[in-house]
Amino acid sequence: MIKRIESGIAGKGLGYDYLSNIKGLATKLELRGVVFTKNDGSIKVVAEGENENLIKFTKKLERNFFFSPIENFYAIWHDSTGEFKDFSIINNK
């Protein structure tokens, strides 16, 4: 079943390399969506894909898979909208 998550990650040192690692993991798990840095320095992730792959994805994000100190993490589950064709990094700077 295709689902959607909206996730937020806050911590120190979450730069472009961190976004690239999230994109790489999402691509490996065949997820579609976006990742970007918000104005407050936290990261927002919106991803859609198979439920099993989204579970793997959120577990790796939550447990500090990329070796940067995470101070806060959340994931909210929704029904898929099908709006994404691939997974991309939005550079909003």
Domains and CATH numbers, the chain: 2-89 (3.30.70.100)
Q: Check residue 7 and give its pLDDT.
A: 96
What is the spatial distance between Cα 17 and Cα 23, in angstroms, rounded to a whole number?
Answer: 10
List phi, psi (to 5°) of 70.
-95, 130
Q: Check residue 57 and give its pLDDT.
A: 96
Give Cβ neighbours of residue 88 (< 8 Å, ≥ 6 apart).
Answer: 23, 33, 34, 35
Low-confidence stretches of the chain (pLDDT beneath 50): none
Q: What is this structure's pTM?
A: 0.91
